[in-house]
Amino acid sequence: MNRPAAACLAACIATGTMLTAAAAATVRFRVVDFAGKPIKDAIVYAVPDTPLPPAKPRTAIIDQVNRQFVPQINVVQVGTYVDFPNSDNILHSVYSFSPAKTFVLRLYAGKTEPPVRFNKPGIVVMGCQIHDTMIAWLLVVKTPYFGKTNAAGLLVLHHLRAGRYRMHAWDVSMRKVTASRPLVVTAGGPPRQITFTLKAGRMPRHGPTMPGMSAGMGMQ
């Protein structure tokens, strides 16, 4: 490639990069309860009005450490595969009977089970058949724009393209209901800041009940 052509190509690439950066925006979120206290691990996600093309399948991990799911609260995009390794020195059996995903991983140790694909949006509540105090929540969403708040109740979403969105915020105590509001993202402007106020409650102590088993029947 001669020098003029190379220079032209470099200019086109640089221009394309600048246009892409200019077409994206950053939005900051703060999630608090009615007393103004920050809510940690609240999930916030942005659903664009314009449908997005199907995403390439990705893989997430929910581990089992010290008889707890790690992370206990997570969010993934529709189509994501989730690995459930068992890092404990005891057996676990992961299951869910949520409408968004029903599955059972029989007793296992280490990493012997294949990943589970979550291909339907919704809230998936998971437990362990042996240890009923183990519980985890997975929110499956139809967008790549999502995240969890930190201990200060804050979250920053980057690279939102200009357009109209429906913003959602969810906490585990809300069960199936999410707080939502519209948002218009304008490229090139200063970062927006949005506050969600949620009615946060007590986190459930036991996993979902399996058919034929009442709460508290598992091993402690």
Query: Following CA atoms 27, 31, 35, 37 in sequence, which dihedral angle do they give, to the nearest 10 degrees?
Result: -100
First CA to last CA distance, the chain: 69
pLDDT at 26: 92
Long-range contacts of 59-68 (CB under 8 A, 24+ apart): 59/83, 59/115, 61/85, 62/126, 62/136, 62/138, 63/87, 64/88, 64/92, 64/94, 64/128, 64/134, 67/128, 67/131, 67/133, 67/134, 68/134
Angstrom distance (rounded) from CA 73 to CA 52? 25
DSSP string of 73-87, one letter each residue: EEEEETTEEEE--B-
Query: Which domains, ranges and CATH numbers included, belong to the chain?
Result: 25-198 (2.60.40.420)
Q: Which helix (H) or strand (E) holds 98?
A: strand 94-98
Provide mean pLDDT across the span 26-40: 95
> 54 or 196, which is more confident?
196
pLDDT digits (tens, 9 = 90+) for 80-110: 999 999 999 999 999 999 999 999 999 998 8
Name the band, by pLDDT with cuts 50, 70 and 90, for residue 192: confident
Higher pLDDT, 214 or 160: 160
Provide the 8-state DSSP code for 174.
Answer: G
User: Which class for 99: exposed (0-12), middle (13-18), buried (19 or more C-beta within 10 A)?
Assistant: exposed
Average pLDDT, the chain: 83
